[in-house]
Amino acid sequence: MSNFAIIGPGAVGSTIAYDLQHNQPNLKLLGRREQTLNFFVDGDSTNPHQLTVTALSDCHEKFDVIFIAVKIPQLSKVLSKLDHLLHQDTMLILAQNGHGQLSEFTHPFVYQAVVYISGQKEKDKVTHFRDHKLILKDTPQTQALCKKLENTPLKIQLTDDIEAAIWYKLLVNLAINSVTALSRSTASVLTVPGIKNLCENLLREGTEIAKFENVIFEEKIVTEIMTIYEGYPSEMGTSMYYDILEDKPLEIEGIQGFLYNKARLHNLKTPILDTIYPLLLAQQKN
Amino acid sequence: MSNFAIIGPGAVGSTIAYDLQHNQPNLKLLGRREQTLNFFVDGDSTNPHQLTVTALSDCHEKFDVIFIAVKIPQLSKVLSKLDHLLHQDTMLILAQNGHGQLSEFTHPFVYQAVVYISGQKEKDKVTHFRDHKLILKDTPQTQALCKKLENTPLKIQLTDDIEAAIWYKLLVNLAINSVTALSRSTASVLTVPGIKNLCENLLREGTEIAKFENVIFEEKIVTEIMTIYEGYPSEMGTSMYYDILEDKPLEIEGIQGFLYNKARLHNLKTPILDTIYPLLLAQQKN
């Protein structure tokens, strides 16, 4: 475990690259094209750190560990260009929101990471706001990774119940991403009459879907997530909000779309999700 | 009944002015400011007709009939500047979408018109697309109006059940305005998976609210309205779609907001409306 790569030089991938750079000086940050990024860590906007991006197509090494940190709509394309970077024991870590994307992989050692890293990318400037945490399933392989990276700023937390961790994050994303994207407003939208109620009802539908997928949350999860939302600064945008404003592909298939399809599978009534999902789908360009 | 005015030189008001100009050569088209409009009728984009707009503040006549054709968010402002145009028998016709706005009037002779006139205004250019019809409650006063205007292109249809006519149009507006505005798409949004289903469910909620207001529609109204929607050209935008793109105030209080409040009054469960309405509300500027 001595050869690391990160695919996807966005906010998440750049933060992982920054966090691992001293521990893994040969680490490669791979993107569509060669580039130098100015990276600002922990909300500090005065002190840029340079990160070098290598074009994926120019990279001919094989890696022991690859973090895939592209957004959901880019995943299929990355997967089609991945094989030459893999040996038979390569460990792949999908550091991406949503759920259900692991089914697209054929390689054996793939882990879904639950990502707690927030930041934003504009052109060659990446600003990391807060958090340096990935949650992974507890296995001998991830334990070895954890040990290898224990002296880095990246906190890897291992869990026996990765499904619960993935679903929890999925629900956190579900309501706030939906309402900020559809209203094209920052977290300030929570002060509009009816929006908190909408979020609560959408979270209840999500919790019910989780139950039918054998992920059981207590009822108080709704209040808990609403408290998280209320802690957001009102000018904070979500990733789906920024994507919709910039006409970028939206991560809906791994979040709202994943839940919508699960609800159909289990014949659940989810009127709020059934309203939100097609309205988001309608804004997908291409 | 010889003195006519129209307040609001938008698509509806301009069309009424055009339709009545030969029958009522002294008719005044009133707006915020003096202006000359280029009016194109029945989708003909080659042959402009000029319409003169007089500033409301410069008008000191009293009128026998006034059509008020401003959009819902402008109504309160117009009502505060109306008194000097009225004598005790003035007939006021509110030619506006939505329902519930008559409660803002104190004058005795006020009629809600159900408007079937479609068009669009951009700066000083007004394009009328189709229809020249107003539906009004059948009374001796409206019969006299109807007779007076019988040789004009404006068709005035009288009905014994104006509530049913208002609610029907309200429901027609409800779903298509909501989905086009929230998705920022033209009628082409109906081809997105899930959107027709959303419209049908929203129309069912609207029909249920109507029932509790003693306006009974047969169940087939949903199919009937969906058939109307399917007849729309895919590039057609709705008024709420144009308003949202242009950051103008939205007519939601007379449509979705009116229905939302009625649903609360009758303790009805309307999850789709409860999702749509706050998301629209969130986009209201000011």
Q: What is the dihedral of CA A81, A85, A89, A91, to 10 degrees?
A: -70
Which residues of chain A neighbour B272 with C-beta distances below 8 Å? 271, 275
Q: DSSP letters of B150-170?
A: TTSS-EEEEES-HHHHHHHHH
Query: pLDDT class for A286, splitting at 50, 70, 90?
Result: low
For A209, B113, B256, B258, B272, the CA distances from A191, given in Å and listed in that order, are 27, 35, 19, 21, 20
List pLDDT tens digits, range A226-275: 999 999 989 988 989 999 999 999 999 999 999 999 999 999 999 999 99
pLDDT given for residue A45 in this prediction = 87
Q: Is A6 helix (H, G, I), strand (E, B) or coil?
A: strand
pLDDT given for residue B284 in this prediction = 84
- Cα A179 from Cα A199, distance rounded (Å): 8
List pLDDT tens digits, range B60-119: 999 999 999 999 999 999 999 999 999 999 999 999 999 989 999 999 999 999 999 989
Question: A245 CB near a chain B CB, below 8 Å?
Answer: no
Which residues of chain B neighbour A195 with C-beta distances below 8 Å? 278-279, 282
Does A180 score more than 90 pLDDT?
yes
Q: Which CATH architecture has domain B4-160?
A: 3-Layer(aba) Sandwich (3.40)
- Cα A215 from Cα B93, distance rounded (Å): 58
Distance between first and last Cα of chain B: 40
List pLDDT tens digits, range A21-53: 999 999 999 999 999 999 999 988 899 999 999
Instruction: Inspect the interface and report whether the beta carbons of A183 and B272 lie closer than 8 Å.
Output: no
Q: Are B45 and B133 in contact (CB under 8 A)?
A: no
Q: Which fold has domain B163-281?
A: N-(1-d-carboxylethyl)-l-norvaline Dehydrogenase; domain 2 (1.10.1040)
Q: Give the position of tokens 């929006």.
A: A195
Which residues of chain A neighbour B276 with C-beta distances below 8 Å? 275
Min distance B120 CA to chain A CA atoms (Å)? 24
Q: Which two tokens stand for residue B216?
A: 């009974």
Question: B35 CB near a chain A CB, below 8 Å?
Answer: no
Closest chain A residue to B275, measured at CA = A198
**Helix, strand, coil % (nearest 5) of chain B?**
45, 25, 35
List pLDDT tens digits, range B192-218: 999 999 999 999 999 999 999 999 999
Mean pLDDT across the stretch A193-205? 98
* Residue B86 bridge partners (DSSP): B63
pLDDT given for residue B1 in this prediction = 83
DSSP structural state of residue B109? -
List pLDDT tens digits, range A65-124: 999 999 999 999 999 999 999 999 999 999 999 998 999 999 999 999 999 998 988 889
Q: DSSP letters of B129-144?
A: EEEEEEEEE--HHHHH
ipTM of this complex: 0.88
pLDDT given for residue A285 in this prediction = 64
List pLDDT tens digits, range B212-260: 999 999 999 999 999 999 999 899 889 899 999 999 999 999 999 999 9
Q: Amino acid identity of B76?
A: S
pTM: 0.90
Chain mean position to CA B126: 16
Instruction: Inspect the interface and report whether the beta carbons of A195 and B277 lie closer than 8 Å.
Output: no
Min distance B67 CA to chain A CA atoms (Å)? 34
- Cα A73 from Cα A249, distance rounded (Å): 6
- Cα B171 from Cα B164, distance rounded (Å): 10
pLDDT given for residue B280 in this prediction = 97
Which residues of chain A neighbour B179 with C-beta distances below 8 Å? 279, 282
- Cα A160 from Cα A142, distance rounded (Å): 12
Residue ranges per structural domain of chain A: 4-160, 163-281
Point out the residue among B179, B182, B281 whose CB comes nearest to the CB of A192: B281
